[in-house]
Structure 1
């Protein structure tokens, strides 16, 4: 059994590594082509059908790039397609979803205090969310293509906010953030697989057959590509959010996720404006900092806003604190079945991250992590499988904050 656990952990590591590599390749090519597209210059004497050109220097050489808005007059002999970066990123990401959240559904996917469902039902809800997000997005884009781009973006944002709120009522906080990122990433990859590449293939087929391509296919593909560009940074945050319980495990996590999308749009707007030579909108950075400060505040907002009592203050060290005996009982009763030299929780064969909480000294040494993961946020226990109570979480907060004031 231990050998299988070790093998499974290495499989998880390999797939995660693959996901990071393919994600870098996809994001890199996406950012490059958007910057290239925005930086194109028009001049007299461009070849027929050419929209613009750009000269670039990199790696000791010069590159002369021209873009044809619809298609060149003739099909080039060699054509490079940029699609496998997207496909591989999504497939490896879905594999990670299955390995971590489906195989470990009781720990990471389902919180029965949020929604009491079986593992198969939880997985089906997850799959339905991925598919449903794409269907709603695609229908809206087809309905509003070329009609009201700004209205489309606002509608899509409202839907994202609703999804952020809804997912926190379906899964654990960690899984809610992950699924919001996965739904968005599915939309981005499906844009490539279902719209951008098929449209480009139609144009190529027309060229080969000697027909004049319809410019609408390029227009549709560009719309989806621009959406992908603005969604990239929020997806990165959401995919990495499992390392930050103050983001996903707090009362206002869905608001935090919603603000992250705005931050991502602001940052991309700055760089897109810069690449398009449309000014230097530095105000976007001020707005980003303000939103980030709001996010920090929301993660540690005074609990009076959530109907929970404020904590008191004292002047004690962790172990000497009058609260420590109760804290020790809470940690041993709610945490140490996993965080032990020999874990007893089914499916856990090594203490997560090597954190063992079986002695007073160890509990004190990890006071900050206990405070953040199980006190200030609800990240631990995963899915609240050990049924830690709000009073016990409040105890952990009080214990830590009082000791820190010494």
Structure 2
């Protein structure tokens, strides 16, 4: 198990680094394309469509984009593809190491759907492949001729995918699967459309042949899709740290609403790169985000009121009994859980001093978000959760 943990660490680290490189390159080229200026006549005569000057790292850079291509193909031509491929491959490996090898702990929630590990893995693969096929089919249909209609279709498709994932897998796994689906769409765009179109373009320029505009148009369209999907993808990657989203009874709707807000905010920056400044987009995006936060958090205030029931007096012995029954199997210096061999997040509850130190987090995770115990594998009752809540309130 320790060696597997180290392997998971290495894969996760590589995945993050590769993702940073891919997203950074994507953002940079969208910014670059939107900031190119009409060149002086002598550059235009050489076939340059637009250029840009920049300063960075103590030096000046001149970037030019050709309308057709250079007179002579350079010996070294940099391609931006392995950032996407390595991000997707490491992400799939991470999915396999964590959610497939430990399907009973991470992928399956018996309260959502009863199934064994093999069934869950097959559902997972089918979900990812099926979602990509729905996207690819739309891209190859007349639907992609209308940007607004395609955006509506994509929102509806991802909404259905989010609802389906939350009715198949554990809540944490559902959010991760939407991220994997989006990442698969983005990587497949690079592999099946963007790079092949670029290869045809390079071959045509090298052979002094005409370039089919469809090659570039198709690649540009998929790049724009990837650009708007980036921020929702990043949210799913960090979502496991915020159980108030994925543990909510409307978790699939929360995911879609946050994704729409993030794509809307991305739209502001895309316009800004073109010299169009619309701060109203940022304002409405912020209003949307806080409206979602208010809606999701509103029910959480109910247990803290004393309108419907009298808060019971809870003894130290009662709290310790609940902690020992449901928490210390994982959160201990010597965990006895069959999956977690080290205390998650380093949080240990071996003695009363540590329990008091972490009382706020214990309350939040057991009585508010209710995502702990993990998948409620120890069957904590609502009465025990209320006991923790009462203890938290009386100790404030």
On whether the aligned pair clears a TM of 0.5, the verdict is yes
Q: Which residue of 1 aligns with 2:180?
A: 182
The number of residues matched between the two structures is 391
- Aligned equivalents of 1:162, 1:69: Cα separation in 2: 41
Q: Which residue, out of 244, 263, 266, partners 2:264?
A: 266
The 5-angstrom pairing of residues 60-139 of structure 1 reads 60-69=58-67, 71-72=69-70, 74-139=72-137
Q: Which residue of 1 aligns with 2:148?
A: 150
The 5-angstrom pairing of residues 251-400 of structure 1 reads 251-278=249-276, 280-302=277-299, 310=303, 312-313=305-306, 321-322=313-314, 325-400=317-392
SS of residue paired to 1:52: strand
Task: Indicate if the aligned counterparts of 1:70 and 1:218 stay in contact, CA closer than 8 A.
Answer: no
For the pair 1:168 / 2:161, whether they are aligned, the reply is no
Pairwise CA distance, 1:238: 0.9
Q: Which has the higher contact order (CA 8 A, sep 6+)?
A: 1
Q: Which residue of 2 aligns with 1:241?
A: 239
TM-score by length of 2: 0.91
Distance of aligned partners of 1:47 and 1:376 in 2 relative to their CA distance in 1, 3 Å threshold: farther
Distance of aligned partners of 1:84 and 1:393 in 2 relative to their CA distance in 1, 3 Å threshold: same
Structure 1 range deviating more: 80-89 or 290-299: 290-299
- Aligned equivalents of 2:211, 2:143: Cα separation in 1: 19
Q: Which residue of 2 aligns with 1:13?
A: 9
For the pair 1:210 / 2:203, whether they are aligned, the reply is no
SS of residue paired to 1:53: strand
Task: Indicate if the aligned counterparts of 2:314 and 2:387 stay in contact, CA closer than 8 A.
Answer: no
- Aligned equivalents of 1:134, 1:184: Cα separation in 2: 8
Pairwise CA distance, 1:263: 2.1
- Deviations 1:44-74 (CA, angstroms, capped at 9, x unpaired): 5214543321111212222221223554454
Q: Which residue of 1 aligns with 2:394?
A: 403
- Aligned equivalents of 1:219, 1:71: Cα separation in 2: 16
Pairwise CA distance, 1:334: 2.1
For the pair 1:27 / 2:23, whether they are aligned, the reply is yes
Please provide the CA RMSD for this pair.
2.4
Where do 5+ consecutive residues of structure 2 fail to align?
A: none
Pairwise CA distance, 1:131: 1.2
- Deviations 1:155-205 (CA, angstroms, capped at 9, x unpaired): 101111222222111111111111111111111111111110011111122
Distance of aligned partners of 1:239 and 1:135 in 2 relative to their CA distance in 1, 3 Å threshold: same
SS of residue paired to 1:64: strand
- Aligned equivalents of 2:39, 2:143: Cα separation in 1: 30
- Aligned equivalents of 1:185, 1:105: Cα separation in 2: 21
Distance of aligned partners of 1:80 and 1:323 in 2 relative to their CA distance in 1, 3 Å threshold: same
Structure 1 range deviating more: 265-274 or 290-299: 290-299
Task: Indicate if the aligned counterparts of 2:144 and 2:150 stay in contact, CA closer than 8 A.
Answer: no
- Aligned equivalents of 2:71, 2:244: Cα separation in 1: 55
Task: Indicate if the aligned counterparts of 1:231 and 1:265 stay in contact, CA closer than 8 A.
Answer: yes
Where do 5+ consecutive residues of structure 1 fail to align?
A: none
Q: Which residue of 2 aligns with 1:232?
A: 230
- Aligned equivalents of 1:203, 1:163: Cα separation in 2: 35
